[in-house]
Amino acid sequence: MAPEVEFGRFFKGDFDDDPAAALQALLRAILIRSQFQPTVRHVIGWRGLRQSAAAVECWTAKVAGGAGVFGVFVLDLEPTPGWSTARFGLCYFPDPQEPLVERVALQAAAVAQREDYHHRIRDFLQHPELASLFGIGTFLLSVGSDRRALALALQAASAQRTLAGDGVRLPKDGAMVELVPSGGVDQEFPAFETALRFFEVLAASATLNLEQAPSRLIESRYSAAQTVYDSAGRFQMEPAPDLWSAVLLVGYGPGEFDQLGLALAPVDAARLGALKADGPEGNADGYGEKLWWRVHALKDSRASTRRAWAWTNGRR
């Protein structure tokens, strides 16, 4: 059986009196404590972290592998039997010069070209349209009712696809210029792939702070839909057989993770398949090399800098 999670190593919150506040504080502790040692922070993948000003707690972050900025903000509690669960929104604000900016919606691409774009990202929740235009998924933080287990879960679609049913045309030099043909693609953003970059760093940070590797990984995939809008501003969802949505769960300790994964499944979606693993070997196809399996090896502070240097230089 997997060892129990010991929150007392780094967190003293009360999940009984105010679970929402405790889960927010737990995420805050994981984020902040992961920044303490610069070399270790760099190995995990952090490239910047800043708390933003807003009515609810939110953060901006940069991680390895991309030029853009992630935005994280508190949403609400999620009803999950046997668990206390908080849901967080996840945004990605691409750098105007990176290729991903070409895959967001036209309206989002226009915002990304504004002179004040980077300034607005800093406190993105003060500009509500940013979260709407650049949201790519959600993640959840769960603590078992018996306080013996913790889970992180990512929810995102393989791609966020938006079609312009009537096309998009704008005036230019006295003539109408077609930007998107009728029925053409306005947005085709690789949401899951992009969100996974942040989730991998977050889960590795949990491993580091908990000082133990995950005991369970579950990736479940479900049917997904695409959005179609018309010139009157009406939106509708339609099936997209080539798209899927995923719930990727990383669990620590002796928890009912399969039950939790089912509770997080999207409503009215067909399950397409699942991958389950109890470690990096065996069935962890595609996830076996993730840092969340082994970064707890850096927990010894006297050796962490030396070990992190070795990891950075390929001497693992």
Does any domain span residue 4? no
Cα–Cα separations (whole angstroms), residue 137 to 35, 111, 193, 206, 308: 24, 20, 11, 20, 31
Does any domain span residue 65? yes
Per-residue model confidence (pLDDT) at position 299:
63
Number of domains present in the structure of the chain? 1
Distance of CA 64 to the CA centre of its chain: 14
- Phi/psi at 145 (nearest 5 deg)? -60, -25
Does any domain span residue 3? no
Does any domain span residue 1? no
Does any domain span residue 37? yes
* Amino acid symbol at 112: A
Per-residue model confidence (pLDDT) at position 118:
96
Does any domain span residue 111? yes
Return the closest-CA partner of residue 14 out of 23, 4, 5: 23
CB atoms within 10 A of CB 294: 15
Interatomic CA distance for residues 198 and 271, integer angstroms: 25
Per-residue model confidence (pLDDT) at position 1:
79
Q: What b-and-e string marks burial along 242-257, b requiring 16 or more CB atoms within 10 Å of the CB?
A: ebbbbbbbbbbbbbbb
pLDDT (tens, 9 = 90+) of the chain, 316 residues, equals: 789 999 888 888 888 889 999 999 999 999 999 999 999 999 999 999 999 888 889 999 999 999 999 999 999 999 999 999 999 999 999 999 999 999 999 999 999 999 999 999 999 999 989 999 999 999 999 999 999 999 999 999 999 999 999 999 877 777 778 889 999 999 999 999 999 999 999 999 999 999 999 999 999 999 999 999 998 889 999 999 999 999 999 999 999 999 999 999 999 999 999 999 998 876 677 899 999 999 988 765 444 445 544 544 454 4
Interatomic CA distance for residues 164 and 169, integer angstroms: 10
The DSSP line for 142-153 is EEETTSS-EEEE
**For residue 145, what are the domain limits?**
9-312
Per-residue model confidence (pLDDT) at position 186:
96
